[in-house]
């Protein structure tokens, strides 16, 4: 390769750290900048009074043999992370129901649960399974979606097989289309269950979520894939990647804000960086710049971004924000046999989010997140980001208190939360997420996986500007630590074959 090519990575989330660690391992001169205090982005942690709270992500996929994290850690010659299987992956409570729908890891147990909970839906789930199996085989061949040059197209074609083409007739269908196909569109319980789960993975409901995306997102919870709960905290994932990055000569600078991405004649030239500790501003040159950013941030930070690109970004439907309450509690607040992940919907006639629904993660005894006899409870709800911005401070504080009170009232229906059992309480709003992640307006979870924005129709990792790359949850295959790691692997392959 001659002189080492210099690569600047903006953002030390999992996508950025994975990109940086892989490129450093392959001999590139890598520097990662992040404005936060600790690496990990939305999969980082913070500590209070002996409790360790996962900021956003609380479970991971891709640790099984052949899974994306397993593959990357093996290639980097790093120890595989210690984790326990999430079984059930989630316990979903529909309105006025005391017994949850258990999303079991075991495929046979999950099949029996579905048949019991949703009679007459067998053919719908059979289609899901067929599409998932084909999509999973396709994704395992590392396709590049969407392709932006002949090399990308070649990688996509190599990933195609006869077994892939079963998915083609369903490419432009939503989950709601499939429900209608099987005469299930009036099955309120099934549709609501799907809406709740899809909101977690695709940001949008059955009417909007692309069927092919949903088939994978809702099937990855079962073995031989499955979801995992990391021992210690989510921070161990980023810490291990930082270990590999630094071992191979890469550099990581926290509390450094990249203010501008510079270009010249359609090619990236470097970035302007502000040291948030000293206030010093410097300009750094690079052969490649990789943005572990939202596409919204990329469009506003980049000089001379093509108008068509920025217009497409501006036309995106509003992304979601999150209201999150972090509780450190006495173990007596947790019911016996409480699943590690729960989802609640309180009223059929109101939208999912805005405290009408909660996704809750509960730490397990001895998992490193709480002292002996204690536990953490993290409860989040989707919220309209615009409710939290450009309002007087007193209105903001009143809104935050209102959401806090409503969330605690909801949680008390299941958990034993009293002044005696709550040891620590902390709140995060979209404003908080913006402060710590710099994601535009504090949005979470990436782009909604609609027909117009998923897979072949989504934003590419290869941007319109030469040697400027995008990784993270704005790109294929979407959100989650596994998803952003796939995008990182894609960019590394593209840079190496540039």
Q: Which residue carries 């649960």 as its tokens?
A: 113
What's the whole-number average pLDDT of the chain? 96
Q: What architecture (CATH level 2) is domain 6-83+232-316+447-496?
A: 3-Layer(bba) Sandwich (3.50)
In 303-353, where does DSSP find H-type helix?
307-314
**Is-contact 283 482, C-beta < 8 A?**
no
**pLDDT of amino acid 3:** 67
Cα gap 180→191, rounded to integer Å: 11
Task: Say if residue 2's pLDDT is above 70.
Answer: no
- Considering Cα of 129, then 131, then 132, then 137, what sign does the dihedral take? positive
Q: What is the pLDDT of residue 1?
A: 44
Q: Decide the pairing of beta strands 227-230 and 60-61.
A: antiparallel
And the tokens for 474?
């704005």
The string of pLDDT tens digits covering residues 346-371 is 999 999 999 999 999 999 999 999 99
pLDDT tens for 44-99 read 999 999 999 999 989 999 999 999 999 999 999 999 999 999 999 999 999 999 99
CA–CA dist 293, 331 (Å, integer)? 38
Under DSSP, the state recorded for 142 is -
With beta carbons less than 8 A apart as the criterion, state whether 48 and 328 touch: yes
Q: Which residues pair with 21 in a beta bridge?
A: none
Computed on alpha carbons and rounded to an integer, the radius of gyration of the chain in Å comes to 22
What pTM was computed for the model?
Answer: 0.97
Query: In the numeric block, which tokens belong to residue 275?
Result: 């040291």
Q: Give the E-state strand segments of 77-156 in sequence order.
A: 83-85, 90-93, 101-103
Domain range annotation of the chain: 6-83+232-316+447-496, 125-222, 320-440
Domain 320-440: which CATH class? alpha beta
362 touches 335 (CB < 8 A) = no
- Residue pair 100/342 in contact (Cβ under 8 Å)? The answer is yes
Q: Mean pLDDT across the stretch 275-283?
A: 98
């Amino acid at each position: 390769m001659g002189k080492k090519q210099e690569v600047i990575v903006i953002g030390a989330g999992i996508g950025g750290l994975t990109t940086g660690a892989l490129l450093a391992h392959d001999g590139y001169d890598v520097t990662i900048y992040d404005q936060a205090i600790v690496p990990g982005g939305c999969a980082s942690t913070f500590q209070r009074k002996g409790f360790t709270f996962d900021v956003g992500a609380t479970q991971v996929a891709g640790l099984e043999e052949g899974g994306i994290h397993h593959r990357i850690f093996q290639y980097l010659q790093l120890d595989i992370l210690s984790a326990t299987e999430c079984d059930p992956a989630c316990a979903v409570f529909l309105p006025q129901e005391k017994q949850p729908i258990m999303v079991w890891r075991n495929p046979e147990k999950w099949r029996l649960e579905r048949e019991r909970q949703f009679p007459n839906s067998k053919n719908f789930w059979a289609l899901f399974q067929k599409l998932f199996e084909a999509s999973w085989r396709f994704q395992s061949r590392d396709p590049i979606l969407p392709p932006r040059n002949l090399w990308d197209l070649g990688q996509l074609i190599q990933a195609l097989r006869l077994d892939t083409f079963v998915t083609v007739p369903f490419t432009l269908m939503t989950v709601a289309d499939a429900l209608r196909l099987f005469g299930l569109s009036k099955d309120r319980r099934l549709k609501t269950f799907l809406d709740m789960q899809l909101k977690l993975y695709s940001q949008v409901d059955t009417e909007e979520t692309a069927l092919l995306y949903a088939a994978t997102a809702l099937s990855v919870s079962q073995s031989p894939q499955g979801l995992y709960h990391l021992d210690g905290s989510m921070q161990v994932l980023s810490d291990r990647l930082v270990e590999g990055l630094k071992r191979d000569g890469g550099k990581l600078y926290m509390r450094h804000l990249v203010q501008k991405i510079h270009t010249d004649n359609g090619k990236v030239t470097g970035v302007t960086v502000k040291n948030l500790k000293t206030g010093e501003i410097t300009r750094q040159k690079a052969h490649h710049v990789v943005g572990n950013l939202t596409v919204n941030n990329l469009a506003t930070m980049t000089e001379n971004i093509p108008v068509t690109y920025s217009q497409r970004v501006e036309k995106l439907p509003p992304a979601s924000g999150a209201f999150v309450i972090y509780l450190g509690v006495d173990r007596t607040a947790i019911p016996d046999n409480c699943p590690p992940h729960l989802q609640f919907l309180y009223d059929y006639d109101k939208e999912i989010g805005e405290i009408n629904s909660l996704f809750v993660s509960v730490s397990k005894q001895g998992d490193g997140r709480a002292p002996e006899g204690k536990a953490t409870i993290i409860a989040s709800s989707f919220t309209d980001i615009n409710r939290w911005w450009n309002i007087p401070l007193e209105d903001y504080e009143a809104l935050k208190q209102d959401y806090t009170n409503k969330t605690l009232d909801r949680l008390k229906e299941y958990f034993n939360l009293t002044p005696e059992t709550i040891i620590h309480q902390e709140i995060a709003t979209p404003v908080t997420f913006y402060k710590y992640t710099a994601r535009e307006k504090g949005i979470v979870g990436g782009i909604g996986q609609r027909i117009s924005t998923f897979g072949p129709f989504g934003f590419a990792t290869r941007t319109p500007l030469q040697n400027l790359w995008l990784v993270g949850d704005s790109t294929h295959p979407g959100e989650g630590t596994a998803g952003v790691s796939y995008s990182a692997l894609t960019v590394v392959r593209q840079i190496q074959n540039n």
